[in-house]
Structure 1
Amino acid sequence: MLNIGLLGASWIAPQAIIDPASIVQGTRIAAVAARDLGKSQTYADTYGIPTAYGSYDDLLADPALDAIYISLPPAYHAVWTIRALQAGKHVICEKPTAMTLTEAQAMVDVAKSTGKRLIEAFHSRYHPAFLTCMDWVASGDIGDVQSMTAHFGVGFPDDGVKNQYRPELGGGTIMDMGCYPLHWVRQLAGGAITDAKVETTLAESGVDLTMASELTFDNGVTAKISSSMHPDTEFDAYLEVTGTKGTITFQNPLVPHQGGALSKTVDGVTTDAPVSTVTTYCYQLKAIAEALQTGDVLPTEAAGLLDQQAEIDRLYDAASLSHLRITTQDYT
């Protein structure tokens, strides 16, 4: 049994890991911690979690826990991931892993030194529909990939509290949303990014509100990716891959279980792929549980994790916004 502790009583945990753990055999949510015991106890009572802690350190000291799920703001990922790894726990960390590549490297180094796993929670990567998309590209069904377009946006206002609008917490659309289309095109391009041109608009708080990037890969593939959290933005997520023989269209690669659609068109003939209604989060947790048993390296850990963080750094550098991601958290 993989006993998981939740570091943070977050809004995302019910769909991201609590519900999946009730479905994926051999996994269990065993404890939750918040900085206030009353809050964590209410959360535990709501979601049927056996143990509640009033501090994160108490959670990490629980010898019954095998893994820790961290869903704090990005500014706190490094410090608590490192403490969890040093406490002998595997870590499932919400994306993006860190504020910077320097932080991510420090986290991966501790994972190596402790013999524990650090896995970034890019859940969409594990859904069968995305795997089918990858297979179509790898098998040459649409010929050689030439270009891609990817987008994820959903709008909400700054209420003065939301992490996404707080630069000191790792806010910004690239960090919170743009990391997804970046991840999608990186999985499919078959090469490394060599150049990025980035345009952004800023919120009053100073974080990036919208992003549009043009990426060039070393094999000649190009990609246009974008994201937005502007309050007027309606939810939309899509991916299009154009090759020398045809095109792949993927509507809602973020959460394809919520009405996603995947098709390829070759020589004027369109083929639709089945899209499982089982959640991306279930497939992710199943993959994690299996990998912890077999020792197989997942695509969202180790080098895969570091490469993704390096490209987030690249986008912020290209947008002249690197100053937004300097954290005051001591993760050493």
Structure 2
Amino acid sequence: MSEVRWGIIGTGTIAKAFAADFRYAKTGELRAVASRDKGSADAFAEQFGIELAMVDYFSLINSHEVDVIYIAVPHVFHFELTKACILAGKHVLCEKPFTLNQAQAKELFELAQAKEVFVMEAMWSRFNPAVEQALEWVEEGEIGNAQSVQASFGFALEQDPSHRLFNRELGGGALLDVGIYPIFLAQLIFGKPDFVQNQAVVGDTDVDLLEQLLLGWDGGQLASLEASIITQQPNRAVISGTHGYIEFDKEWYKAKAITLCKQDGSEHTMTFDFQGVGYQFEVEEVNRCIQEGVLQSPNHLWEDTLNLLSTMDEIRQDIGVSYPGEPELYEMDVEHHHHEHNHHHKH
């Protein structure tokens, strides 16, 4: 099969980072970009050497020039745009969180199955070589039985109500944007948690600004996680086991080095010398899956996305953060949740 041809919807920060790393991918061709602003589309196309700049998302979605579309717009638009792409028979890589909640994701995956198109959440860190190495070490028993994960992701922003991350209408908040990463790491190692507890600070614009999460599993594993859009976090991650621990370099979600620390004090560091930030690895994964004719990546399954959203739905239901048009979140049976441990503070 010839090269997989890509189009990008959106020209913001993430779209730029993705396009910048695309050149390091061994496969695929970046052919088109769409923005509702002609100036943005043209400038983006020029900056990254993209042939087609479109001012209408649907021109791109219906274009015969592309096979797969990368969606990089604010969270609230993921559902509608992914749905439109699937209906147009296009494969999709949609930025995380895949949708606002699990119900939306279920609907899209059922549609993708029916239309036979490949769809994946852009959990790019899953394909980072350091993350892959950590998973391999855990599976090989290098740290004995993995027992806990500690991870953070956060940065300090000015609290500007119009900024996407502080804007409820755009799906703002720390959890969906950055909290998803530490949760992803914990669930990559231990699966979907059996217990979820949290402490959160909700801001004046009714989105979560800072939270600490404690996830637990029936097998006795724990994860202590932190997410923030108002404090600069160390952005470190450690996986601890009965015989040692694995420590990622700072900014663990795009780390280029990882260290295996044994009980006896010995340390072994592995360094990965890749260019860019690492978006190219998810591009290669999507290309491989499309060429093999599979509908989901075996390394980031639809079920993995549903499990991530399920955990985040539970946390949001508990802290009382919801987004426009999602009453279904609150119809869940509240009896199953342990509210007495969770105290929430207005910031």
Question: Under a length normalisation based on structure 2, what TM-score does the superposition of the two structures give?
Answer: 0.88
- What do residues 204-241 of structure 1 show as CA deviations (whole Å, max 9, x unaligned)? 211100010111113220111111110xx225311112
Aligned position for 2:16: 14
Task: Give 1:13 shift.
Answer: 1.4
Aligned-partner residue type, residue 236 of structure 1: P
Aligned to 2:260: 263
Contact 1:99 1:325 (8 Å CA) reproduced: no
Query: How many Å separate the matches in 2 of 1:46 and 1:204?
Result: 38
The residue that corresponds to 1:306 in the other structure is 306
Contact 2:93 2:120 in 1 (8 A): yes
By how many angstroms is 1:90 displaced?
0.4
Alpha-carbon shift at residue 326 of structure 1 (Å): 4.0
Whichever residue aligns with residue 277 of structure 1, its letter is F
| Counterpart in the other structure of 2:336 | none
8 A contact 1:99–1:326 mirrored in 2: no
Deviation at 1:109? 1.1
Query: Are the equivalent residues in 1 in contact too, given 2:121–2:305 (CA < 8 A)?
Result: yes
Residue by residue over 1:104-138, the C-alpha shift from the partner in whole angstroms, topping out at 9 and shown as x without a partner, is 11111111111001111111110111111011111
Residue type of the partner of 2:56? S
Structural mapping, 1:79-118, within 5 Å:
79-118=80-119
Q: Is the 8 A contact 1:207 1:324 kept in 2?
A: no
AA partner of residue 9 (structure 1): T
Alpha-carbon distance between aligned partners in 2 of 1:213 and 1:295, rounded to the nearest angstrom: 38
Which residue number in structure 1 is paired with residue 344 of structure 2?
A: none
**Matched position secondary structure for 1:280:** coil
Structure 1 Cα separation of the partners of residues 52 and 192 of structure 2: 44
- TM-superposition CA deviations, 1:47-100 (whole Å, max 9, x none): 221111111111112111101110111111000000011111101100001111
Q: How many residues align?
A: 321
**CA-to-partner distance for each residue in 1:166-223, whole Å, 9 max, x for gaps?**
112111100000000000011112x431111111112221110001011111322011
In the other structure, the counterpart of 1:214 is: 214
Pair 1:122–1:262, CA change in 2 (3 A):
farther
2:93 and 2:122 in contact (8 A); partners too: yes
CA distance in 2, matches of 1:265, 1:319: 39
- Conserved 8 A contact 2:161-2:205: no
The offset of 1:9, in angstroms, is 1.7
Structure 1 gaps, min length 5? none
> Does the Cα contact within 8 Å between 1:118 and 1:301 map onto a contact in 2?
no
For 1:206 and 1:118, locate their aligned partners in 2 and report how far apart those are by CA, in whole Å.
31
TM-score, normalised via structure 1 length: 0.91
Partner letter of residue 15 of structure 1? A
Question: Which moved further from structure 2: 207-216 or 43-52?
Answer: 43-52
- Name the structure 1 match of 2:4: 2
Which 10-residue stretch deviates more, 240-249 or 79-88? 240-249
In structure 2, stretches of 5+ residues that fail to align are 328-347
SS of match in other structure, 1:193: coil
Q: 2 CA distance for matches of 1:194 and 1:105? A: 20
Within a 5 Å distance, the mapping from 1:126-275 to structure 2 comes to 126-189=127-190, 191-230=191-230, 233-234=231-232, 236-251=234-249, 252-257=251-256, 260-275=257-272
For the Cα contact (< 8 Å) 2:21–2:278, is it kept in 1? Answer: no
Contact 2:82 2:94 in 1 (8 A): yes
CA contact (8 A) 1:168 1:326 kept: no
Distance 1:275 1:23, change over 3 A: closer
After alignment, is 92-101 or 289-298 more displaced?
289-298
Name the CA distance, whole Å, in 1 between partners of 2:239 and 2:324: 31
Asked whether the 8 Å contact 1:129–1:276 carries over to 2, the reply is: no
> Partner residue of 2:29?
28
Asked if structure 1 preserves the Cα contact closer than 8 Å seen for 2:152 and 2:233, the reply is no
2:244/2:260 contact within 8 Å kept: no
Once the two structures are TM-superposed, the CA of residue 41 in structure 1 deviates from its matched residue by 1.8
Verify the 8 A CA contact 1:256 1:280 in the aligned structure 2.
Answer: no
